[in-house]
Homo-oligomer: A and B are copies of this chain.
Amino acid sequence: MTAPDQQGSHPPDYDPRAFPPFAVTVDLAVFTLRADRLHVLLIRRGQTPYQGDWALPGGFVRPRESAGGAARRELAEETGLSEATAAHLHLEQLATYSEPDRDPRMRVVSVAYTALGPGLPEPRGGGDAADARWLPYGTQGPLAFDHDAILADAHRRIGAKLEYTCLATAFCPPVFTLGELRGVYEAVWGVELDRPNFRRKVLSTPGFVQAVDGPPKLTGGRGKPAALYRAGGATALHPPLLRP
């Protein structure tokens, strides 16, 4: 369906021409890894309602724009990254939230998106609102509106997608070590993984990662230097890498 027909099954009290007007927005659950911890991008509200509370970044969908387009635009604005850089971030539709009273001011339907990226810089570049900041996931207090539910859904979704897709590489820079990749799983799942087993699994999955040829190694601070890899072409993970 899009616009239903004039005739049809609608109750007599309902005139499709006078379709109820909705505002449509996008909300962004942007995740990144900073210092081996999962962080979320939050903004502090400068207006009532929920003034002073933290909330997910987002904004209106414009008249000639798709929700995905709006999400990508807001992502660039709110993270302060260049449009070109932001265009490389993994962006994925999560779900749509439409409870009638989720915004006390008016009827707003919001399409939520999840975005992932490697260690992103502090926000603020976009010249954005009062306060925007990366907070370690789990340390944020109650968020405005239904954003707690959205954020929890987003976290659940990426945790699940790590199991059966190659999504983890979206958290990594173009070239990374297997230790960094493992750090993604550990940060999102909140567990420790066995190093050798993780390595075996990743390397035995065709197309998950791809060894970087010439420059042999590099150090991550301490320990033996690690080989470098880039994301392979694969998108699915068969068989999956199940959570312990």
Within the complex, the shortest CB–CB distance from A71 to chain B, in Å, comes to 10
Majority SS at the chain A contact face? loop
Within 8 A of B (CB), among A61-99: 61-68, 77-78, 93, 95-96, 98-99
Give every chain B residue within 8 A of A23 (Cβ-Cβ). 3, 19-22
Residue-wise interface mask of A (1-29) relative to B, using a CB-CB cutoff of 8 A (1 in contact, 0 not) = 11111111110001010011111111110
Chain A: residues with CB nearer than 8 A to chain B? 1-10, 14, 16, 19-28, 45-47, 55-68, 77-78, 93, 95-96, 98-100, 102-103, 105-111, 126-129, 144-145, 164, 238-240, 242
Query: Chain B residue with minimal CB distance to A239?
Result: B242
Can you list 29 residue pairs at the A/B interface with Cβ under 8 Å? A1-B27, A1-B57, A1-B58, A1-B145, A2-B58, A2-B144, A3-B103, A3-B105, A4-B58, A5-B45, A9-B59, A9-B77, A9-B78, A9-B126, A9-B128, A9-B129, A19-B23, A20-B60, A20-B62, A20-B63, A21-B22, A21-B23, A22-B61, A65-B100, A67-B96, A67-B98, A96-B96, A96-B111, A164-B240
**Which residues of chain B come closer than 8 Å to A60, judged between CB atoms?**
4, 10, 14, 16, 19-20
Q: Which 4 A-B pairs have the closest CB atoms?
A: A1-B58, A2-B103, A5-B47, A21-B21
Bound-complex Cα distance A78 to B242 (A) = 40
Most buried by B among A3, A47, A240: A3
Cross-chain contact B61 with A5 (CB below 8 angstroms)? no
* Distance, CA A58 to CA B10, complexed state (A): 10
Which B residues touch A95, using CB under 8 A?
Answer: 93
Q: Are A110 and B1 in contact (CB under 8 A)?
A: yes
Which of A19, A108, A111, A126 has the most B CB atoms < 10 Å from its CB?
A19
Q: How many Å from the CB of A12 to the closest CB on chain B? A: 12
Establish whether residues B68 and A7, one from each chain, have CB atoms under 8 Å apart when the complex forms: no
Is the Cβ of B55 less than 8 Å from the Cβ of A1? yes
Q: A1-B58, A4-B25 are in contact. List 18 more A-B contacts (CB 8 A).
A: A1-B55, A1-B56, A2-B103, A2-B108, A2-B144, A2-B145, A3-B25, A3-B106, A5-B45, A9-B129, A19-B23, A20-B60, A22-B22, A22-B109, A24-B24, A67-B109, A96-B96, A98-B111
